[in-house]
Chains A and B, each alone.
Chain A
Amino acid sequence: AQSVTQLDSQVPVFEEAPVELRCNYSSSVSVYLFWYVQYPNQGLQLLLKYLSGSTLVKGINGFEAEFNKSQTSFHLRKPSVHISDTAEYFCAVSDPQGGSEKLVFGKGTKLTVNP
């Protein structure tokens, strides 16, 4: 069964600093990878996704992620964060070969951007 590990439950950073949120997945087959963001009291919104091709994926709000098959990782990065990036970030996988399009989520990383 697929699983996703987000190594940091909380990440505090200062405004304009770079940030990396780590995600590792466990699967013996190819997967599709997603990062979602959840702002306080809101639903989840897609930041970016990796399906195939270039391992560097660019998303909305200046975020990008790099797929590393050998390390089974899909870390999310932003070179300079803003106060408005304070939110919870979820890494998720889906199985291209599976009979369902369900997403398997990590436990989430709470990013707090301080002035």
Chain B
Amino acid sequence: DSGVTQTPKHLITATGQRVTLRCSPRSGDLSVYWYQQSLDQGLQFLIQYYNGEERAKGNILERFSAQQFPDLHSELNLSSLELGDSALYFCASSPGTSGSRETQYFGPGTRLLVL
């Protein structure tokens, strides 16, 4: 158990809909990362938050957005869903005090299926 929790575990929805994925980082971690894992693209970095502020953006679509709240949990919002958005979405966290040498701890993921 990494200490990172993600809800829900599974999500089935229809094209055009909007969903929210939730992540609670390890206790004390200030950085939260979102990654998408799909068969064709592999594991891709989406976005990073540090202590409530956006720190870096990767290959995140405009239809996707995220935020980190004062209690440090994070939400990833996916809207106008398309079939190709079906994937496993991981959240990871790290202390945020030692830069890119830090270990990122991954949650169990949310599996999204868009029908």
Contacts and interface: CB of A to CB of B under 8 A. Distances in A.
Nearest to A96: B100
B45 to A, nearest CB: 4
Most chain-A CB neighbours within 10 Å: which of B33, B44, B94, B106? B106
Q: Interface size class for chain B?
A: 20 to 34
B100 A46 contact: no
A43 B100 contact: no
Interface string A96-115: 10111111111110000000
A100 B107 CA distance: 20
A14 interface: no
A45 interface: yes
A102 B101 contact: no
B8 interface: no
A106 B43 CA distance: 8
A71 interface: no
Nearest to B105: A46
Nearest to A100: B56
Interface of A: 32, 34, 36, 42-46, 49, 51, 90, 94-96, 98-108
Interface of B: 2, 4, 31, 33, 35, 42-45, 48, 55-56, 58, 90, 92, 94, 99-109
